[in-house]
Structure 1
Amino acid sequence: MNSHLKFDFHTHHYRCGHARGEIRDYIEAAINNGLDMIGIADHSPYFASEEEQPFPGIAMGKSEFPAYIREVLMLKEEFQGKIDVLLGIESDFFPDHINLYKKQYDQYPFDYIIGSVHHVDGINIFKKGRWDGLTEQEKIATKERYYHLIEQSAKSGLFQILGHIDAMKGFYPAFSKIQTNAIDHTLKVIGENEIAIEINTSGNTKDCGGWYPADDILERALYYGVKPTFGSDAHDPERVGDEFELVRQRLKEIGFKDWAYFKEKKRYLYHL
């Protein structure tokens, strides 16, 4: 056992249509990288859609969902004693469909659910052209709507972890410079609701580089009592646990004392 608990709560696999490899490959990569815990958290299906799989390159089909759960639970058993395999999901947050998603998730023994806002004004946050031609005021309004959605997701009671809370900068690095107090307000709400935010190292794979969220947001998060956790957001087994140690060191430098992990939706704090 490491003197420090090592974990990664955010990994994908082939079912989402844009990741490589089987769940087993991610678990084996985690063992090879000395992790104590590996969370599988593929993208949730579009439960509100009439179609089985409206966006095959983005998320699994609805009928795949039970098979996904079964496979993770089977592997949890198989790897018991070698590594803790945790059942998670990265859930889209659509305020209008919150009850529908809740009903789906309540049927299964999730260790945690990551709530991620991927759409603002009906447009994907990573869509490269979405900022073209917007005035400064419209950019501010868009950023504020993004953080308002994250805030609603924090209050929804559905999630234990909030995913990549400044990912909108992914293909638009200037996003970080749009001035608004919305982030502070959102972090305050997250802190009051005892939800963790992940330090997600996949920003490195996008134009913005670095992690989600950026250091200045982490400093504010500390101020509001928000607890961090770790997720590589690996879409390739090679990225499991990516930069875990660097993140741990950085959080200590910023002033965090502990971070969160989850089992059966219960939050545990572990010293950094």
Structure 2
Amino acid sequence: MKFDLHTHHFRCGHADGNIRDYIEAAIAADLKVIGISDHTPYFGSPEEQPFPAISMAKSDFAAYVQEVLDLKREYEGKIKVLLGIESDYFPNHAQVYQEALTAYPFDYIIGSIHHVRDVSIFNKNRWKKLTPQQQVADKEEYFNLIRQSARSGMFQIIAHMDAMKGNYPLFSEIKADEAIEETLKVIAESGLAIEINTSGKTKLCGGWYPSNAILEVAHHYGVDVTFGSDAHKPSRVGDEFDEVAKVLKEIGYTEWVYFEQKQKVPVPL
């Protein structure tokens, strides 16, 4: 059974298409479950929409939720539509995010780290002036933030776990094995799933997040996995689902999960 829990649409300001386009693309790709999970508004700012090319306006949030719920009813019997959201984790603003998100009936919330030391993880220049020791420190801080997000109780899924390599492929060679291993232990203890996110192919690193090496450690610690294309255009819905399933089987996984009403639903591989 095919599913995809990570999709975006026009409201975030950097994706194409409307929600219906992604649902129709999922049906065309023979998916049985499609999750809609656009970026939250930036709740940590008093402004209505401080970053219009990154996240939706606060005034769009309720309409987003209602549209997904309406489409869930409309497509019942054709495909299961799930109400999700992707939320950044900012330690200083965690409470205001949690209050905003608990007001709506999300099937799942994806937790993401997109900034380390107030610089985007995808910024191609962030590594240029760092010493090797500073690079290790930034990588360790990235995984420290993921651990904090996992412990927060806000999320069901940890997004693109090594996405910091997206526009800096050498990230994978920076040694931080202990930080990665500890992070996977915390995720397992917290009962969360990590997504295999195939959007790495749209960045300089290619491939998907996380690496096969991280997935092997995740399997060792009993971390559940799920699938997300992170589609920002309808044509990428379900992208590389079969290839990911094949690799997971080779690693030793026998099932993966999706979430409905924040409860894990196992799916045999």
TM-score category of the 2 structures, normalised to the smaller one: over 0.9
TM-superposed CA distance for 1:270, in Å, is 1.9
Partner residue in 1 for 2:121: 125
Partner residue in 2 for 1:186: 183
Partner residue in 2 for 1:203: 200
1:223 aligned residue (220, 225, 233): 220
> Over residues 103-130 of structure 1, what are the superposed CA-to-partner deviations in whole Å (9 max), with x where a residue is unaligned?
1111111000000000100111101110
Partner residue in 2 for 1:214: 211
For 1:156 and 1:90, how far apart are their aligned partners in 2?
Answer: 15
Letter aligned with residue 204 of structure 2: D
TM-superposed CA distance for 1:258, in Å, is 1.1
TM-score normalised to structure 2 length? 0.99
SS at structure 2 position matched to 1:197? strand
For 2:59 and 2:85, how far apart are their aligned partners in 1?
Answer: 15
SS at structure 2 position matched to 1:129? coil
Partner residue in 1 for 2:241: 244
TM-superposed CA distance for 1:34, in Å, is 0.4
TM-superposed CA distance for 1:182, in Å, is 0.5
TM-superposed CA distance for 1:271, in Å, is 1.5
> Over residues 217-243 of structure 1, what are the superposed CA-to-partner deviations in whole Å (9 max), with x where a residue is unaligned?
000000111011000000000000000
- Runs of 4+ with deviation above 6 angstroms: none
TM-superposed CA distance for 1:30, in Å, is 0.2
TM-score normalised to structure 1 length? 0.98
* Root mean square deviation of aligned Cα: 0.6
Letter aligned with residue 262 of structure 1: F
The size of the alignment, in residue pairs, is 268
SS at structure 2 position matched to 1:88? strand
TM-superposed CA distance for 1:88, in Å, is 0.2
1:22-41 maps to which residues of 2 (within 5 A)? Answer: 22-41=18-37
Letter aligned with residue 16 of structure 2: R
TM-superposed CA distance for 1:133, in Å, is 1.1
Moved more, 260-269 or 157-166: 260-269
2:88 aligned residue (86, 92, 99): 92
For 1:271 and 1:155, how far apart are their aligned partners in 2?
Answer: 27
The answer to whether structure 1 residue 108 and structure 2 residue 69 are counterparts is no
Partner residue in 2 for 1:155: 151
> Over residues 180-225 of structure 1, what are the superposed CA-to-partner deviations in whole Å (9 max), with x where a residue is unaligned?
1200010011011110000000000000000000100000000111
Stretches of structure 2 lacking an aligned partner (at least 5 in a row): none
Stretches of structure 1 lacking an aligned partner (at least 5 in a row): none
TM-superposed CA distance for 1:268, in Å, is 1.9
SS at structure 2 position matched to 1:128? coil
2:7 aligned residue (3, 6, 11): 11
Identity among equivalent positions (%) equals 62
SS at structure 2 position matched to 1:132? coil
